[in-house]
Copies of this chain bind each other. A is one copy, B any other.
Amino acid sequence: MELLREHESISSVLLVGGTHGNELTGIHLVQHWKKQKIENKFNHFRLDYLIANLSAIDANKRYIDHDLNRCFKLLDLEDHSLKSNEQLRAKQINNKFGPKGNSKVDFIIDLHTSTTNMQTNIVLTRIDAFHLQLAAYLKQRLPNVVITSESELMEDHHFLESIAGKGVLIEVGPIPQGSVEYPCFETTEKTVLTCLEFIEMSKQHTIDDLPDELEIMSYHSKIYFPTDEIGNITASVHPDLVGKAYPQLVRGDRLFKSFDGGDVFYQGDDTYCAFINEAAYYDQKIAMCLCRSKKYSLSSCKVIDFK
């Protein structure tokens, strides 16, 4: 596969932990790398670190006022009336490492975890030759990598990593919020190292052949918990689904188990699902996210098949 000249423009990388204050893996990984001066191992780019949401980390919460990883739309960054804890923090981060559209850092890796079986979820907010090749490289080298895309959900993305020209969000699960487990730490670390290896190798024009086809799970909608008249949830996600990694959901499948023991069945079109019973999404009463499996061609950057 032809190497992208575009890669050569990556001269600085930012590794981010703690965008969500109760996802400890990324925080400890960044602290560990900082202490060990791991940045000195890389010759072809500068590596900086960021612990993104210190006040949320102190509070051991995902966020204080707003989800920081939803605060990076250009419109919001430029809106000086937005002054919550995270809206201000987003502006600070954008000033230091951005500004979005003309950023000082070329590539951002933002580290997350999930309470659900997302495996090693590589989240793309951009589908282009560079990001498709990066994703294909990660999938080729590491076990249990699943590529998901948020690129179709919005034009001006709200993720922190969107302030750089290129970036990726790495999300490993399942792991409870507020805790660290070594396998999750190790998987996250290996994935970061493989991203950096891709960047370094591509600059040296030594990337091995990649397959032309790449499967990407692309989000299209959500399912919310059933609630009573005052908004309390009245059912749990069905045990058939909890703990599964990206299962197919077919009309008639058991979807929820009500607290009285009754089953609630799925009525929609066939789909895949992810973030099944994600603890972080209870604030919005989201029970799961729905996605389609799309096959992309790396050479054309187009969808060549989907289900």
Contact = CB atoms under 8 A, between A and B. Distances in A.
B260 A36 contact: yes
B236 A180 contact: yes
Most chain B beta carbons < 10 A, residue from A176, A228, A236: A176
A199 B186 CA distance: 49
Interface stretch (A27-35, A70-78, A204-212): A27-35
A232 B59 contact: no
Contacts of A36: 260
A268 interface: no
Contact of A59 (B61, B176, B181, B282): B61
Nearest to A25: B236
Interface in A148-180: 174, 176-180
Interface residues of A, number: 41
Given A28-B232, A32-B234, A59-B61, 12 more contacts: A28-B259, A31-B232, A60-B61, A176-B279, A178-B282, A179-B279, A181-B239, A182-B237, A182-B238, A182-B239, A182-B242, A185-B236
Contact of A233 (B180, B233, B280): B180
Contacts of A238: 182
B180 A177 contact: no
Interface in A245-267: 257, 259-261
A28 B233 contact: yes
Interface of A: 24, 28-29, 31-32, 35-36, 59-61, 115, 174, 176-183, 185-186, 228, 232-234, 236-239, 242, 257, 259-261, 277-280, 282-283
Contacts of A59: 61
6 contacts: A60-B282, A115-B179, A177-B177, A180-B233, A181-B239, A185-B259
Top 5 nearest A-B pairs (CB, nearest first) are A178-B279, A176-B176, A179-B279, A32-B259, A115-B176
Given A31-B232, A32-B259, A242 B181 contact: yes
Contacts of A60: 61, 282-283
A283 B186 CA distance: 23
Contact of A178 (B24, B177, B180): B177
Most chain B beta carbons < 10 A, residue from A24, A31, A259: A259
